[in-house]
Amino acid sequence: MSEREHYLAQIDKLAASQVLHGSESLCKLLRYLAKHALDHPGTPIKEYQIATEVFGRSDDFDPQLDSMVRVQAGRLRAKLAEYYSVNGIDDATVVELPKGTYVLAFHHRTPAGRPHSVPNSPETREGNSSERWPATVLALGVLLGIALAAIVAFVWARSSAQAGLPRGEDSAPAAFRVFWNGFTSAQEEPWVIFSNAAFVGRPETGMRYYDAAKDKGSFILDHYTGVGEVLAVHELDRVFGQLHRQIRIKRGSLFSLDDAKNNNLIFIGSPFENLTLLELPGTQEFVFRRMVSGPRNGDEAIVNLHPQPGEYKVFFPSAGNAPLTEDYAVVALVKGINPSQAVLILAGTTTIGTQAAVEYVCRQSSVEELLLRLPVSQEGQLKPFEAVIRVKVTRGVPVSTELVALRSGTS
């Protein structure tokens, strides 16, 4: 039997178990997630995809308003844990749905060892093994003690190296610990600066971005921000919670350069709205610009200053006069005003693209994909890099992302 067939057989066993008996919706979700995991290993799944393809929700399903998928996934996660703690305690294959993802995981479990033979039984008498049994147990005990001491020493050393971080940090995926190491190992909490652009007008009559050339003296509204930035802050808080660290949050219009001198910074939103970015060292390969000529004159885009073969020179989102179905976003790690500090820029040309950029670095599978292509120093620090991701959007929700350009060692 192939490994795939073995895993599918385990799924059948789970679906037929007493734990999942009568729960048609959970069995359907389990089979769907299993097929996706085996057909597309490591590929993330969006709530929208599950809602429409598994539970028959309509195309206007909005996961921000309907938590049905999250609730069902939580139920399935609990059922799997219940099965393996009772009925499946001896199963050689364990199926899990890790928290924070909809990607099903398969693990091989080492069968429990047979009990030691009883001294003076026919088995132990053969070859005088009864005399060796106490020595074997003693040797195994010594080895176990050494292994345990080594593990404790390793965890202790790692915790100390992480500037006093709680040992619970190892509950986070290894990819998160590597990617976010520069922000979690610092003594000070990182600052998260979200964009809140300047507007003129009124909500009830219509607002537009402030234009310094023609709006001088106009009353400015600076307390509005996009839905993507709001959800992005929530995602970052979730990940840093896994890493047992906190973040400090500040809106862009209240951020000062003094704040930038001694803190690691995470900027949410492009320099079109997060204006402080214009005063800090920024990206050198992929920059945000407003087009001043051509068919997309006036549109915001990401310009590829040194395009490689097969890459676009300019990354445009969907045209402004059409529904947003595609956006592009920058994910970049650069040095700050103080070169010892790091600045992470997560920004799309729209608020939805910004949301997708943050989700990209808060999702285990995409962080693992990115790390495979980035250099890491011997001290475990990521070197500066700049990347562009393509974002597919459905009804205002980013449903998939794809890495389309990457430069490393850019600072």
From the list 276, 137, 293, the residue with the least C-alpha distance to 197 is 276
Q: What is the pLDDT of residues 93-141, one digit of tens each?
A: 999 998 888 999 998 876 543 333 333 333 333 344 444 444 444 444 4
Q: How far is Cα 93 from Cα 68, in angstroms, rounded to an integer? A: 28
pLDDT tens-place values along the chain, 411 residues long: 788 888 999 999 999 888 887 788 889 999 999 999 999 888 889 999 999 999 888 888 888 777 788 888 888 988 898 888 888 888 889 999 988 889 999 988 765 433 333 333 333 333 444 444 444 444 444 444 444 344 333 333 444 444 444 444 456 888 898 899 989 988 888 999 888 777 878 877 787 777 777 777 777 777 777 888 989 999 999 999 999 999 998 887 777 777 777 789 999 998 887 777 776 778 999 999 988 888 888 889 999 999 999 899 999 999 877 889 999 999 999 988 778 888 999 999 999 999 999 999 999 989 998 988 887 766 667 889 999 999 999 988 999 999 999 998 765
User: For 286, phi and psi rounded to 5 degrees?
Assistant: -125, 110
pLDDT at 376: 74
Produce one character per residue of 85-106: b if its CB has 16 or more CB atoms within 10 Å, e if not.
eeebeeeebebebeeeebbbeb
pLDDT at 204: 77
261: number of Cβ within 10 Å: 11
pLDDT at 410: 60
pLDDT at 411: 55
Q: What is the pLDDT of residues 225-251, one digit of tens each?
A: 788 898 999 999 999 999 999 999 888
Which residue shows structure tokens 């709205």? 273
pLDDT at 378: 61
Rounded to a whole number of angstroms, the distance between the first and last alpha carbons of the chain is 51
Neighbouring residues of 155: CB distance < 8 A, sequence distance ≥ 6: 167, 170
User: For 107, phi and psi rounded to 5 degrees?
Assistant: -135, 145
pLDDT at 101: 87
